[in-house]
Structure 1
């Protein structure tokens, strides 16, 4: 599933990486999220080239909205989002599916990643474990998961218009259990651009997104509170309400408090 908003100049390279997959039984849903460039013309060329490409168009609604729109049309059991300016290796889909076959408890499969564009080299990401996920995101958007898990959590949160939608999504589907596998092979190529969304987000927007995630998943952060801060039971007993507890947690982790509590 490839959402595209004014990224027509990268779309050919992205879709070619999908066409090159050694696993043949795929569909690629291209979602034009209200682009003002040549996205539609380029997408039309690809759907005429191979009928496994599907083209959808909608009014601009942001990344989460575009992903949800495309995934809602997907017929397969597994989903692999791919942003229009990125690429995947030819063996990625096949290797990811094999991991799901090997372990029925697996919920997410991703891989080693490499940067290209304005920067080159291996993308050094922290290893996954659930406590690490409570601190920060280390799973990029182009990981594979089951469509039913997307449905269970209500998809990507369209309120996260400034970013962190991937972090929130992984928390949502993993906080109640499930295995995560990171492949040893490089299977994902992340384009570094000067004006990428991750680079232009400002501090106020970042804080909004972090507060939103913290409020939405208060249960997840509270369940990892002891491990995150290394505090003892005596201090825990002094923090008598969930809001006080979460305020302290967010301040320690992110440097801000999400609730304005009166003494």
Structure 2
């Protein structure tokens, strides 16, 4: 088919030291049955063979485009891609994940919507096993309340499950190193998009050692920072409800941690209280 001057879809792939997986990710883009796309590969300061692999694909197909920057993190790489994208729709894809060859053609049957989300399957890299979603997302309503209150507790949406109409998406927060997707989804839904969910496994999320968070303290710090940023986006009444839900969630996690950690089984209960107080102080600080 003849390609339009501006592609209908911009696929944004941030790349940082993913030489092991990048070829397979780009192959999944190349094999799309829908062909009116551009693929923006953003090299975020990789020091492995990422650039060599990128140039192989640049030579193979002119729809692949290349941007290179110093290392600034996943969100900054995605933002560079957004700023340079020319398509009406935005598809994010991390450099170690995959999309089914009919992903774009299937979602574009629903262009009366602003946000189209599909289901996904897991790929366990260590065993090479693909695990069906088993309705991972299909049991949740795709709305603002679910994103706000159930994210990470009951579900998350891998970013490459979705395709976004360009005008509804915000830029990613570049200070957060965790929970940035949660904030992004909330900011997106605050624009009142018209969403639809397609219960088909059209995306594959790869699980391997490098994408597992190891620093729990850092994760908790960024969770608290994300909570404060989200609170500032909400009306006061909803912010108070959100705060109560977060406090209850954190308290339950602390109780679970105490139960599972044998070193804490005989500890005094005030340790949980002190931990909770410290968390609450961090959450409430911006409002004092």
Please state which band the TM-score falls in when normalised by the shorter chain: 0.7 to 0.9
Displacement of 1:84 in angstroms is 0.5
Query: Does residue 1:81 correspond to 2:104, yes or no?
Result: no
Query: Does residue 1:156 correspond to 2:194, yes or no?
Result: no
How many pairs were matched up?
236
Partner of 1:27, secondary structure, is: strand
The equivalent of 2:148 in structure 1 is: 134
The equivalent of 2:229 in structure 1 is: 216
Change (3 A) 1:166 1:261: closer
- Separation of aligned partners in 1, 2:183 and 2:287: 29
The equivalent of 2:163 in structure 1 is: 144
The runs of at least 4 consecutive aligned structure 1 residues that moved more than 6 Å come to none
Partner of 1:8, secondary structure, is: coil
Partner of 1:9, secondary structure, is: coil
- Separation of aligned partners in 2, 1:214 and 1:93: 33
* Residue of 38, 51, 58 corresponding to 1:27: 38
The equivalent of 2:216 in structure 1 is: 203
- Separation of aligned partners in 2, 1:250 and 1:222: 16
Q: Describe the superposition over 1:132-167 as per-residue Cα deviations: whole angstroms up to 9, x where unpaired.
A: 2112152211111022222xx3x0110112x21111
* Residue of 41, 55, 63 corresponding to 2:52: 41
- Separation of aligned partners in 2, 1:216 and 1:165: 10
* Residue of 8, 13, 18 corresponding to 2:19: 8
CA contact (8 A) 1:107 1:174 kept: no
- Separation of aligned partners in 1, 2:89 and 2:197: 16
- Separation of aligned partners in 2, 1:4 and 1:224: 40
The equivalent of 2:192 in structure 1 is: 177
* Residue of 112, 115, 138 corresponding to 2:122: 115
- Separation of aligned partners in 2, 1:145 and 1:71: 11
Displacement of 1:98 in angstroms is 1.8
Partner of 1:35, secondary structure, is: coil
Q: TM-score, structure 1 length as denominator?
A: 0.81
Change (3 A) 1:251 1:9: same
The equivalent of 1:50 in structure 2 is: 61
CA contact (8 A) 1:134 1:221 kept: no
Displacement of 1:78 in angstroms is 0.7
CA contact (8 A) 1:222 1:245 kept: no
- Separation of aligned partners in 2, 1:175 and 1:201: 31
* Residue of 247, 254, 257 corresponding to 1:251: 247
The equivalent of 1:191 in structure 2 is: 206
Q: TM-score, structure 2 length as denominator?
A: 0.75
Q: Where do 5+ consecutive residues of structure 1 fail to align? A: 226-241
- Separation of aligned partners in 2, 1:52 and 1:261: 46
Partner of 2:197, secondary structure, is: strand
- Separation of aligned partners in 2, 1:193 and 1:96: 27
Q: Describe the superposition over 1:55-77 as per-residue Cα deviations: whole angstroms up to 9, x where unpaired.
A: 11100000000001112111111
Q: Where do 5+ consecutive residues of structure 2 fail to align? A: 1-11, 252-278
CA contact (8 A) 2:213 2:219 kept: no
